[in-house]
Amino acid sequence: MNQPVQTFTPQAFHQQAHAALENPQIRANFRKAMDGLMGKRREAFSDWDLETLRQLGANIRLRALSKLPDLLEQLEANCEANGIRVHWAENGEQACAMITEICQQHGASSVIKGKSMVSEEMHLNAHLEQAGIEALESDLGEYLVQLNEQTPSHIIMPAIHLNTDEISDIMHDRTGTERTRDVDAMTAAARAQLRERFMAADVGVSGVNFAVAETGTLCLVENEGNGRMTTTAPPVHIAVTGIEKVVEHLADVAPLYALLTRSATGQHVTTYFNMISSPRKAGEHDGPKEVHLVLVDSGRSRIYQDDELLDTLRCIRCGACMNHCPVYTRVGGHTYGTTYPGPIGAILMPHLMGLEATKDLPSASSLCGACGEVCPVKIPIPDLLVRLRREAVGDGVGNVPGAGVKRSRKEVAAWKSWQWLATHPNAWRGASLIAGSFRGLAPSHLGPWTEYRTAPKPAKSSLHTLIKRHRKEQDS
């Protein structure tokens, strides 16, 4: 459990996708899970005016983004007034250094973690371990993935790629738990293993679902209780979150929470909604004596510059877009090679990692539109996928790092020629005549296109010519 094993990279998306498509276990695990989740979500919204609720969710997030710098300052002021110490990090590297430093100030040797995708994004566990601090995931799925030296394959259900037998093997091999297919027994074993660790942990690290500017409150959504445990049992709690997670009012969280749980897992509510506004006060008997909030930028302020890309920052991380994505369902989460997989990953990761590394991700979509239709805050994901595709082949000017990486001179020249031909009728007619006469010479293999298709051949005569001929015949 030293370094996270990075066997998947976005650069190798194509190879990874082929490998996943040929793995019946992976395909069956994801198919089963995604079908279940889609059905549950539909059921959970059945007696709601979903469009109105989604519009409200979108409007709340847009309002928060429209005042983002003010709200961040208000959040900071209110947190500090409540006794929560606020830190700002330009990138994951800085955030990891800050968290490591806080741990070291307390002489911490063990950190217990609640689920946090931002901490995954910055590879916090690896950083802490380099500093000699053991970081243990406590969300059951994250725990299993960590035991198996993997990364999460889904942002809500990290171990969705594993089935019961595989998990039984992992727990047996790594913790000595007796092999079983009894999920209750496995859960009880994990409970016992982690309880010890909660008691011994020096620091708890968690993510944040919503940070409320108005009251300086950190909201955490969960079912297991590990989030509450992480933020209550250890003497120090460090919450880490992206700067876009702020909302203006406490009342704003009500509709967002209703959208989040139903969109994510089809639950009408999660077991716990944990709202933290301060460290342990004088006279109180439990809870951390210190609470820190680390606000991480990591490319978010660059996304914020662009009127269209800005919509990416509305995301409340429910995962509905991946649950409904035909590509994600077939290739699974690891194939993307990025912290956030699926449609949200495809529109977010190019900003965090640059288009050089992630150029294939915006193309990993049939643009069927399902992601945009289910998004609880109405992010126009298909439009953003198209925008990023354009950025990848464009002239390299703009707000996306690595823009223009897929630009090919040949392709540009081909389109330019086509454009010229299509606007010069005589030349077009000449070219069609030539193409028609030499159709026997058209190649029968056209790269990947002809792997599953027959190569097209130019027609003997163009439609234009045929119609002309037809009219002539009728007239005569």
Partner 1 sequence: MSARDSILGRLRDRQGSALVAPESDFAVVTGRGWSREERAERFTRWITSVHGEVVRCNTADWTDALAGVLAEKQIRRLALGRQHPVALAARDALASHQVELIDADRDIEAWQEELFQHVDAGLTSTRGGIAETGSLWLWPDADEPRLLSLVPPLHIAVLDVDAIEDTLFDVITHQGWASGMPTNALLISGPSKTADIEQTLAYGVHGPRELVVILRDG
Binders in 288-327 for partner 1, by CB under 8 A? 295, 297, 301-302, 304-307, 310
Binding residues among 320-379 for partner 1 as defined by CB under 8 A: none
Backbone angles phi, psi at 386, to 5 degrees: -65, -40
Instruction: From 45-53, 386-394, 405-413, 419-427, give the range in contact with partner 1 by CB under 8 A.
Output: 45-53
Distance CA 161, CA 174 (A): 18
Q: Which of 2, 24, 46, 184 binds partner 1 (CB under 8 A)?
A: 184
Of residues 397 through 436, those in contact with partner 1 by CB under 8 A are 399
Q: Does 43 bind partner 1 (CB under 8 A)?
A: no
Nearer to partner 1, 43 or 395 (CB): 43
Q: Which residues make Cβ contacts (< 8 Å) with residue 371, sequence separation at least 6?
A: 320, 321, 322, 324, 325, 342, 343, 344, 365, 381, 382
Which one of residues 26, 190, 321, 347 is an interface residue with partner 1 (CB under 8 A)? 190
Residue 446 identity: L
Interatomic CA distance for residues 250 and 273, integer angstroms? 13
- Strand order of the β-sheet with 203-206 is 84-89, 290-296, 236-242, 203-206, 110-113, 134-137
| Stretch in the footprint of partner 1 (CB under 8 A) among 121-129, 260-268, 343-351, 368-376 | 260-268
Residue 305 burial (CB < 10 Å; 0-12/13-18/19+)?
A: exposed
- Chosen residue from 56, 122, 246, 385 binding partner 1 by CB under 8 A: 56
Stretch that binds partner 1, among 58-66, 380-388, 423-431, 458-466 (CB under 8 A): 58-66
CB of 433 to partner 1, least distance (A): 49
Instruction: Tell me how far apart the terminal alpha carbons of the chain are, to the nearest angstrom.
Output: 85
Hey, which residues between 92 and 131 contact partner 1 (CB under 8 A)? 94
**62/367 with CB nearer partner 1:** 62
**Beta bridge mates, 135:** 111
For the CA atoms of 262, 266, 269, 273, the dihedral, rounded to the nearest 10 degrees, stands at -80
Q: What residues from 191 to 210 belong to the interface with partner 1 (CB under 8 A)?
A: 191, 194-195, 198-199
Choose which of 7, 36, 464, 468 interacts with partner 1 (CB under 8 A): 36
Binding mask 216-255 for partner 1 (x = CB under 8 A): xx-----xxxx-xx--xx---------x-----xxxxxxx
Q: Containing H/E element for 71?
A: helix 68-82
